[in-house]
Chain A
């Protein structure tokens, strides 16, 4: 069983879309992502997401880019743009490192 906490790191401006076969759920006050069906072969575990991570995740079912995500964060949180951009970049890198982006 693998447990991954999705964190953040560097810049990437590609178009982004999550792989299908994962479900983001709120369980006992914690956002988690679990693999569905056959997807468990490549990832048999649980990912945890922060509140803002879950917001981003739930908006990545269709293709977006980092700027879309930055705008989303700015619309939902009181945060300066540089920090929002840095957080989104780190989040996206973490998703890529864990093979969650198509």
Chain B
């Protein structure tokens, strides 16, 4: 009997995690972006020459990809910034597509012209994942600084779908778009797509162009948003359960849903695959466990990918879990991890007031909905 893709993925992840083999990675080709989203954790200006000068060249990306493939890397995500602002994106993509990866592209979609869609259709990735920041030009102006970004993104989504290129859409909820869930869901349903929700907005990783904390929802606002989604999905028959007890996992659609795997080792700070079978390469060539966690790093261009990966894994193993989080009764309502705690508090093992409050509010929401 044939395996399903989900089962194969789970099987590969299970073995890779156990053996600490690199299976999935993200290449952050640039931190520059043509949009100015207020909540972005890396966004730099398109024409930032300093930033551009630090970006790896196409040859360097391709060289790293070859080394990573030889280590076993199969699932590769190309992300930014906005990947399509790189003039050499086509060259990088085509070479990677000939190396045997399962490729996903993360993009805001605004630069996907019909010509680019035609080119992608000639060599389609496993998936194009587009973030939709609102359901109107007004909201796009508010959240991304570009009203016309809305028109371009919608056009890109429709063009990709028309050309049968596997496409998914998601949104990042912030103050400027929190009232548009229903319209975004309608947009998705009209196109027979699911709508992913990124519900956690992190403090910035670097730079100072944006203000994620000032634009993210308060814990109470976020829980109200999550409750609304749950209620809406129940109305539409998308969820069978009539309580919000699984809100945390039901509503979180981050990179890849099944990367959240509970650790069986109490000494292990990470519940995900970061530093076990997954990694992230920044636009300037640092190897990180994930896009947020920049305190543990190695340098694959200097030491080779294999040695850098070993160093990264050792670095992750040295991170202690947050004891208070481990003992907390609200854990099932919380999405804490070393990266988030570090960004929220400056330390891996200190509980975060924002995440704690969010967990408390979620618990309260469940109590309200279960008589």
Q: A: which residues have CB within 8 A of B?
A: 1, 3-5, 7, 23, 25-30, 32, 34, 36-38, 40-41, 44-46, 48
Contact with A along B90-110 (1 / 0, CB 8 A): 000010011111100000000
A24 CA / B217 CA spacing, docked (Å): 46
Q: Assuming the A-B contacts A3-B8, A28-B72, are A41 and B102 also in contact, with contact meaning beta carbons closer than 8 angstroms in the complex?
A: no
8 intermolecular pairs with C-beta atoms under 8 Å apart: A5-B1, A5-B2, A28-B11, A28-B15, A36-B97, A41-B122, A41-B123, A44-B124
Contact with A along B1-23 (1 / 0, CB 8 A): 11111001001110110010101
User: Do the beta carbons of A46 and B8 come within 8 Å of each other?
Assistant: yes
Q: Assuming the A-B contacts A3-B3, A32-B74, are A46 and B102 also in contact, with contact meaning beta carbons closer than 8 angstroms in the complex?
A: yes
User: Inside 8 A of A38's CB, which chain B residues have their CB?
Assistant: 122-123
User: Inside 8 A of A5's CB, which chain B residues have their CB?
Assistant: 1-3
Q: B: which residues have CB within 8 A of A?
A: 1-5, 8, 11-13, 15-16, 19, 21, 23, 69, 72, 74, 94, 97-102, 121-124, 126-127, 166, 277
User: Inside 8 A of A7's CB, which chain B residues have their CB?
Assistant: 2
User: Do the beta carbons of A30 and B15 come within 8 Å of each other?
Assistant: yes
Chain A interface mostly helix, strand, loop or mixed?
strand
Closest chain B residue to A45 by CB distance? B5
User: Inside 8 A of B166's CB, which chain A residues have their CB?
Assistant: 1, 44
Closest chain A residue to B15 by CB distance? A28
User: Inside 8 A of A25's CB, which chain B residues have their CB?
Assistant: 69, 74, 100
User: Do the beta carbons of B2 and A37 come within 8 Å of each other?
Assistant: no
A96 CA / B122 CA spacing, docked (Å): 24
A26 CA / B13 CA spacing, docked (Å): 13
